[in-house]
Chain A
Amino acid sequence: MATQAHSLSYSGCNFLRQRLVLSTLSGRPVKIRKIRARDDNPGLRDFEASFIRLLDKVTNGSRIEINQTGTTLYYQPGLLYGGSLEHDCSVLRGIGYYLESLLCLAPFMKHPLRIVLRGVTNDQVDPSVDVLKATALPLLKQFGIDGESFELKVVRRGMPPGGGGEVFFSCPVRKILKPIQLIDPGKIKRIRGMAYSVRVSPQMANRIVDSARSILNKFLPDIYIYTDHMKGINSGKSPGFGLSLVAETTNGTFLSAELASNPQGQGAAMLPEDLGRNCARLLLEEIYRGGCVDSTNQSLALLLMTLGQQDVSKVLLGPLSPYTIEFLRHLKSFFQIMFKIETKPCGEELKGGDKVLMTCVGIGFSNLSKTLK
């Protein structure tokens, strides 16, 4: 007479990843209805289907039911399994779309996750692999997820629409997470970046670097932007270029910004100089928002705080993104956890906009998949 944990039900395809990831972690089944029900092309898209397949790969014993039209999805999570895997991501979204969720799940597998993801490494919609590598990995390290096997490697670079990129991600497993107290972001001591170009002239990257530096040099002398020009099979199937910038502070906070060129055949051609300048401005915008966690990784940080021991965790964030706000609501419905939210007005200091201090007591989550030896 095992009573299944009562399932949660949602409608619409938005925040699908959040819901499925939280469902997997909390063990509560989830039902999502009316996925693009009124759309001309109803049901789940290719990239979502690919994401569900990925979830099926990393878990053991999940039950996934999708109705004929693909407008209703029922997901009963199994236990996270991990191991060595490969996955072909849809080229409609970047690898970042998949990787973000994997970052949430990877520390709680039975076997350490070693996965090869193929698809689009850099695009204009999702956080690119470079940015996640530069910001999310150090964030996870703050929670005690660390070790030799913790790495994210861009093997091949693939731009939309063709894709053809390849990423290797491996993550060790942990039984419990450490609580964090990230209250002081510190001051930015260096800015690093990666200007990449594939299947275009290598000079593009250099042009990006110059223009980006022209803006950032007004603030800081320690700027180094690497150029990465991949050739042959490593350059994917479509041409493109872009820039990702990361600002590192004295206390180990990483803030990032990125821009990529328009995909081939879509929109007007972009000048690399413009791209560099705009990206630099985006970084300044991100710095203006501030906080101890990058705006893309807010939800990741909050999730890992929630999954900590029954201790107080604190983190200072910039303004909450809509995605994060919805994530907080989801956290409440899945884990019954509420964050204490205090706004910290900027005041007189010249440190950008208002900040938000998020405080919570962890739920005492422990990795139920990990084998005891």
Chain B
Amino acid sequence: METKDQKKHRKKNSGPKAEKKKKRHLQDLQLGDEEDARKRNPKAFAVQSAVRMARSFHRTQDLKTKKHHIPVVDRTPLEPPPIVVVVMGPPKVGKSTLIQCLIRNFTRQKLTEIRGPVTIVSGKKRRLTIIECGCDINMMIDLAKVADLVLMLIDASFGFEMETFEFLNICQVHGFPKIMGVLTHLDSFKHNKQLKKTKKRLKHRFWTEVYPGAKLFYLSGMVHGEYQNQEIHNLGRFITVMKFRPLTWQTSHPYILADRMEDLTNPEDIRTNNKCDRKVSLYGYLRGAHLKNKSQVHIPGVGDFAVSDVSFLPDPCALPEQQKKRCLNEKEKLVYAPLSGVGGVLYDKDAVYVDLGGSHGFQESEEVRPTHELVQSLISTHSTIDAKMASSRVTLFTDSKPLGSEDIDNQGQWMPKEEKQVDLKTGRVRRKAIFGDEEEDESGDSDDEDDEMSEGDRLENSCSDDETEEGPDAEVTDKQYMSRKGIKRQKLEMEEDFEVDLPAFADSDDDLERSSVEEEAEEADESSEEEDSTAEEERDILESKAVREGGKPELLQTDDSSDSLNMEKSLTRKKATFTTSDSGHCTAEEAFASEDEPEGNSSLSTEEEDSENEEAIRKKFPKPQVVSSQKLGSGNLIDETSDIEDLLKEEEDYKEENNYSTETSGALKWKEDLSRKAAEAFLRQQQITPNLRKLIYGTVTEDNEEEDGDNGEELGGLFRVSQPASECKHKADSLDCSRFHVEAPHDWDLEEVMNSIRDCFVTGKWEEDKDAAKILAEDEELYGDFEDLETGDVHKGKPGPDTQIEDVEEEIKEEIDPSAEESAKKKHLEKKRKLKEMFDAEYDEGESTYFDDLKGEMQKQAQLNRAEFEDQDDEARVQYEGFRPGMYVRIEIENVPCEFVLNFDPHYPIILGGLGNSEGNVGYVQMRLKKHRWYKKILKFQTIPLYYIEDHNGRQRLLKYTPQHMHCGATFWGPITPQGTGFLAVQSVSGNMPDFRIAATGVVLDLDKSIKIVKKLKLTGFPYKIFKNTSFIKGMFNSALEVAKFEGAVIRTVSGIRGQIKKALRAPEGAFRATFEDKLLMSDIVFMRTWYPVSVPAFYNPVTSLLKPIGEKDTWSGMRTTGQLRLAHGIKLKANKDSLYKPIVRQKKHFNSLHIPKALQKALPFKSKPKTQAKAGKTPKDRVRPAVIREPHERKILALLDALSTVHSEKMKKAKEQRHLHNKEHFKMKQKEEEEKLKRQKDLRKKLYRIQGQKERRNQKSSLKGPEEQLK
């Protein structure tokens, strides 16, 4: 019984054991691995042909280098911004449904209406911003710029539509983001076979456009108006694991896809003038590069603007904090779409938003829809009521005007034919793209589909466990949590707001300034102490104290708005200002000014200096204090000013960061409070930022700010005191020199001074790790012990001094002191590391290539970039490197046209593209351009760009038409854009364009402020007098002056005679003398080829489609073509009669016969003489031969002879044939005999060799056996 239950032993089919067995088995069969094969059959692996070997080597090298990309520094931030997923497709293909399904898949929420970008957290390290893209070409162009991933929806039941291809081409121009195709409407196929065929056809077409093997996703069918969960889940997985290649434009420019817009304009201004320019704030994740404050941005569809302020906000859709879990918590699945009224409840500095119980509040709102909607619409008021009203009846895509079907001739096989198809149900016009070769593609196999399906299955499996974790009960708790959290956040932010009250940056600056002033004050105090303060100074101080008292009430009045704490602070600040001002300097600027003084203007009297001081003080004070400061200035003595100068120098040596502050506080009672505060400030300052920073950036005010207000004082109310050498002016107009003069030279003869730079020289002391002697000693330590193998001596390295000490220490302390042990351990580790380094260096030496080095360098740089500002807080960091990508920022922009706000449509993306330096300027942009192969017409000179082609001598010659299949140059007046940027041309961006809309593509080559394109200009003239080779030409010029300009120029006749302009003639104005290589005819036309520079019109008209009213945004037209204008105005084109083509009627040319004079004929050599054969005359009678008439007998003989000869010849013929046959037979026989003979000989030889071989073997055997036999 038990035996039956037992399983049979099964042989292992995999695992190490089975492999081992297999190997053994193979060895038994003498079939080893390749190594064995090499040994067994070396010939098979030998070099057969050197050429082939070289070729294969080249090939492998080629393949290897093809994989290399130019290494770039990895600048992706640690917390990258959400990935922009653009869902694109023709209308009614299922874009919105897909977005809804994706959002539901990731966040378990259902958004009914989606407007603008939606940001969701899709994974632990990834967020997505999903945005829909319609068929408006403006929108397509804008979104292709910012897209990281494009989901290209294709209606499988219909096929490709023109929009798809247009978008692909737009993407290509902008650097090609990742593109994934999604086939929808697959459920409309009834037969499986047809479905398969369609899939295959579409896939192959997609591959030719994107790249072979590009991912194409199939959404098979709808369930309850939604895509199947599993398929969406798989699609989501694909998106979350996708990797992206950085695109040049995107990484070199900061850009923002705004997800929120607010109008900040003063309501009063709007009330008085509804059309006034607006101030708006835009919100969004910063992507690409660092954004600097106050830089310029371009908003496609609106224009260029200067950013008035940038600030970063807490991330509204933050990634979850680091944790070990595999998948996201339910409460971490955030969604943020303020334009759609979801999430995004923020507490900003100028707006209040109420959180509605977190992101899950939305889910249960299905039943209570109406009230909720109302509240939400109230909350997320981004625009005025007018705009709201307008936006409430948005129509997404107006159907393009049905156009009359036209005859479209196919240019090439590859080109899709556009076919307008009208949907019977909806009356929608669709632009189907039809290919000539589609039918051929249809036949084939179906294996491709299978593997894709299996891929999907695999994903399914991998994700199934994720799904199981999500339960309904978790959701409930989350909801509760969220609501609580929301309240808390609100409260918190309330507090913050209360405290800050100022814009974030202004505040921080203020802080900096404040503390710096305090610090400086303190410094001054300290220095004054050092310089054993004189009585005068003390008096000054007292005076200033008085001044301070006077200043106080004023300050109180001015600061009444701020709270008490602030007031106190500001008070102390002012105090500090006063105290510093009495010692003559406060800001760095002034310090330097006074420093410049002695060198720049040594003759300046001390009195003047005095007045300068005064000036400095006055500047620090508000107006009322001027009087007192003047008093102070007059009280100053001459030697005191020099004292102050000393102080200045002292301060310039900023190294004296004072540590005395605490001491002084004790000593000087009268400023106890102040110095304590200053000390605190100083300490704080020391921790945050060094002093020098404020010297340079902190307290500096712009020069122009200082200018006004210095003429405040009046003498007797009538005259103003004009002070030419006022301090500011003096500084502004001083010598411009970059040399740094030595102020107080050291005495380099003193020993200690000399010693202070001793170590700067190679002769000085080196660092521990670089000192030659030390290194040598260490090396000995490392390699000290060795054994000489030849002699057998054992060399023992001397134990180094430190190791000796160590030993001793160890002996003494014997593990009592753990630190000693630790240090020993460290030393040991160090030693090991060094050894390893040395080994690595030695080992890797041959391996590293240039590419590897470059890559290593880049990596190092990337590491440095990351590490440099890592430990600083965002506020400080932003100042140094700008706002880094990944931050959620708020950008304020002023002077925005009111239409932007009034006609705001959240469905249209708002993109803020940062402009680099001088990218906001305009100039001539030169490009390499090629007409798109699918565009029907060639481009003409009437377009905005001018076309040109470069001749061999570098001349840029104007072209009237673009070449059909070739690149040409193009120039237009427009924004300066970096070289290498792609561009595309469309004839019109308004929606009613038939056919393929992209006219041309290309790349920017050059930027300049002038162009040198020329066009050919032929000047014609006519000879009016002809001498031998000289002719007088008229009609080419109008004056002698013009002729003089062209003296020496090359001219030519139409018949090809070349000549030169010599000199102007007097008689007809503008006529000239010219010489030619041959005599002209009066009928000749003389012309001169000249080059005339053309000018590109400085016309630049950026698209302002976003300013159009809602629903008309796709109707923007920059300008109308002349044809459209003519049509609109009903003007008929008057054809010039001369320009019409007429059939060319050519007269038959009649040539006279050539007549050579007789005299000439005679002189000619025979060869050239005309050979006119004279007619043969009659033969004379005596020359004519008589006819022969035979006798009958003779005739008989002749006949017989004829017959005989015929017989003979026949006989001979037969005999010849016979002989030939004989010969053939004979030859055959001979061959046979020969063969037999050979065979016999071969046999014989074989026998002979066999015998010989046997004999040899026998001999060999005997020779081998010989000794053995002998042994036996």
Contacts and interface: CB of A to CB of B under 8 A. Distances in A.
A152 B869 CA distance: 38
A312 B304 contact: no
A118 B1170 CA distance: 78
B733 A372 contact: no
Contacts of A296: 738-740
B140 to A, nearest CB: 23
Closest 8 CB pairs of A and B: A12-B732, A27-B918, A61-B1009, A321-B740, A336-B292, A38-B724, A295-B740, A372-B979
Contacts of A27: 917-921, 976
Interface residues of A, number: 106
Contacts of A359: 868, 880
Contacts of B917: 25-28, 335, 363, 365
Nearest to A356: B692
B921 A5 contact: yes
Contact of A351 (B75, B760, B1009, B1102): B760
B105 interface: no
Contacts of A353: 655
Interface string B1002-1021: 01111111100000000000
Contacts of A218: 754
Most buried by A among B654, B729, B739, B1005: B739
Nearest to A18: B736
Interface stretch (A156-164, A238-246, A279-287): A279-287
A187 B760 contact: yes
B296 A310 contact: no
Given A27-B920, A219-B761, A372-B1006, A336 B882 contact: yes
Contacts of B655: 343, 345-346, 353-354
Contacts of A310: 73, 75, 252, 289-290, 865
A346 B1271 CA distance: 92
B455 interface: no
B762 A189 contact: yes
A10 B703 contact: yes
Contact of B290 (A1, A28, A361): A361
Contacts, number: 280
A263 B1061 CA distance: 57
A39 B916 contact: no
5 contacts: A2-B1102, A28-B918, A333-B702, A341-B692, A350-B760
A335 B293 CA distance: 10
Interface string B693-722: 101110010111001000000000000001
B1213 interface: no
B596 A322 contact: yes
B881 interface: yes
A18 to B, nearest CB: 8
Contact of B690 (A10, A38, A309, A343): A343
Interface string A171-202: 00000000101000001110000000000000
Contact of B764 (A10, A179, A187, A354): A187
Contacts of B293: 336
A140 to B, nearest CB: 15
Contact of A328 (B290, B697, B978): B697
Given A285-B745, A287-B760, A349-B759, A3 B1005 contact: no
A36 B733 CA distance: 6
Contacts of B763: 219-221
A329 B734 contact: no
A60 B1008 contact: yes
B1007 A125 contact: no
A5 B1010 contact: no
Given A34-B732, A338-B697, A354-B654, 8 more contacts: A9-B704, A61-B1010, A281-B748, A323-B738, A343-B655, A354-B655, A363-B916, A370-B979
Contact of A3 (B75, B292, B305, B864): B305
Contacts of B17: none
B980 A372 contact: yes
A2 B755 CA distance: 62
B735 interface: yes
Contacts of A285: 742, 745-746, 748
A325 interface: yes
Nearest to B742: A285
Nearest to B75: A310
Contact of B592 (A39, A325, A328): A325
B765 A39 contact: no
B766 interface: yes
A35 B733 contact: yes
A288 to B, nearest CB: 5
Interface string B981-1010: 000000000000000000000011111111
A10 B706 CA distance: 11
Given A79-B1009, A287-B757, A325-B588, A14 B733 contact: yes
Contacts of A107: none
A338 B881 CA distance: 8
Interface in B633-659: 653-655
A320 interface: yes
A320 B652 CA distance: 10
A343 B697 contact: no
Contact of B921 (A4, A17, A290): A4
B290 A250 contact: no
B760 A188 contact: yes
A132 B1183 CA distance: 113
A11 interface: yes
Interface string B741-758: 010011010000011111
A368 B696 contact: no
Nearest to A94: B737
A336 B880 CA distance: 9
B901 to A, nearest CB: 18
A76 to B, nearest CB: 9
Interface string A1-44: 11111100111111111000000011110000011111100000
A187 B766 contact: yes
A34 B734 CA distance: 13
Nearest to B741: A321
A11 B703 contact: yes
B1038 interface: no
A100 B696 CA distance: 22
B920 A34 contact: no
A101 B305 CA distance: 31
Contacts of B740: 289, 295-296, 298, 319, 321-324
B1070 interface: no
Contacts of A341: 690, 692-693, 696
Nearest to A353: B655
A290 B760 contact: yes
Nearest to A335: B917
Interface string B27-57: 0000000000000000000000000000000
B760 A352 contact: yes
A13 B733 contact: yes
Contacts of A352: 756-757, 760
A328 B748 contact: no
A288 B746 contact: yes
A365 B1008 CA distance: 17
Contacts of A16: 736
A236 interface: no
A343 B731 CA distance: 26
B706 to A, nearest CB: 9
B691 interface: yes
B551 interface: no
Given A38-B724, A309-B73, A322-B596, A361 B880 contact: yes
A5 B445 CA distance: 61
Given A325-B592, A329-B696, A125 B739 contact: yes
Nearest to B599: A125
A241 B1106 CA distance: 69
Q: A36, A39, A126, A322 — which one has the most chain B CB atoms within 10 A of its CB?
A: A322
Interface centre among A215, A341, A356, by most chain B C-beta atoms within 10 angstroms, is: A341
Contacts of A15: 736
